[in-house]
Amino acid sequence: MRKKIILSGPTGAGKTDLVVVLSELLPLEVISMDSRQIYKYMDIGTAKPDPFQLSKVKHHMIDIIEPCDYFNAFLYQKMAKEIEREIWERGKIPIFVGGTGLYIDALIKGFFEGVPRDENIRRELSRLNEQEPGILRKMLEEFDPEAASRIHPQDIKRTIRALEVYLKTGKRISELQNQRVQTEYILIVLNPPREQLYARINSRVEKMIEHGLVEEVRDLVARYDKHLDAFKTIGYREIIDYLDGVYSLDMAVHLIKRNTRHYARRQIIYLRRFKDAIWLDPNDQDIVKKVMRIIEENLPR
């Protein structure tokens, strides 16, 4: 059986740089695992691969929908698997690259979509949350503690989904998800020293501003509703608040750096769940050789 080859790590860890170098040694094609790079026109704030990187190695699942379009992990899984199959058929090696945890779960475990949506339940839960903020989180912790441990306290969408499944079926979504069949995979995690990672994040945010992030966001909100889910992305929501006069540009930049660092820390915590993951320091002078050997050892014979 072919194993899924996954290269992950926190934002700013150097995943794209590494895979570009690897592509000179192996016939790789990248399937992006970034839930924000799927959006067209959101280029600077999502740190998409630059034209040089895109010319060196073919990337898939980037720039596939507009910011106003609906997308979820189930659709990602379906599309990514088809692309993976096509890459193998062309005699190339597909490698999944990115740090979106929900996409990794979807690829490895499959994505639970078995219980249809119930708009009445969703409306009632949304209304309840408006009347008593925080009540949905308390309900989830009571009804499905395991799901609560996986879902961020501010992730209202997934909280409502978990409660919807429980109220509709009487079964916990965590139990149903655990029934999914696992896929064979090899997970490589780039994990630079924390201080270096944070310094890289801070530097990258400053470069985003220099390269026109404010102008990119200004153009986007002129074309689309600024309240779109796509614009709740770190970097975009802070600049939108700056444009709305909520705070200064300096404060917006400070918040982007802080929020990105917090996000990177959450990514690391998530990846630690995979006990069989291979953790590597991207500063290792033999990093290319090590990752290349791991990939070659896990190719189908």
- pLDDT, tens digit, 9 for 90 and up, residues 80-135: 999 999 999 999 999 999 999 989 988 987 655 567 788 889 999 999 999 999 99
User: Region 234-241: what's the mean pLDDT?
Assistant: 98
State how many domains the chain has. Answer: 2
CA atoms within 13 A on the CB side of 116: 3
Residue where a domain stops, chosen among 178, 203, 226: 178
131 and 103 part of one domain: no
217 and 101 part of one domain: yes
Residue 32: how many CB atoms within 10 A of its CB? Answer: 24
293 and 205 part of one domain: yes
281 and 204 part of one domain: yes
User: Region 291-301: what's the mean pLDDT?
Assistant: 93
10 and 104 part of one domain: yes
Q: With contact defined as beta carbons under 8 Å apart, do 18 and 282 qualify?
A: yes
What pLDDT is stored for residue 14 in this prediction? 97
User: Region 145-149: what's the mean pLDDT?
Assistant: 89
What pLDDT is stored for residue 183 in this prediction? 77
pTM of the model: 0.81
One-letter-per-residue 3-state SS of 275-288: CCCEEECCCCCCHH
- Tell me the angle at which helices 236-243 and 213-223 cross, rounded to the nearest 10 degrees: 80
Domain that holds residue 201: 4-111+181-297
CA pair distance 128, 137, nearest whole angstrom: 11
12 and 25 part of one domain: yes
Burial of 291 (0-12, 13-18, 19+ CB in 10 A): buried
Residue 181 has pLDDT above 70, yes or no: no
89 and 192 part of one domain: yes
192 and 170 part of one domain: no
Residue where a domain stops, chosen among 139, 159, 178: 178
Which domain CATH number covers 44? 3.40.50.300
155 and 219 part of one domain: no
Which domain CATH number covers 153? 1.10.20.140
User: Region 194-220: what's the mean pLDDT?
Assistant: 98
What pLDDT is stored for residue 74 in this prediction? 82
Residue where a domain stops, chosen among 144, 162, 178: 178
In this structure, what DSSP letter does residue 132 have?
S
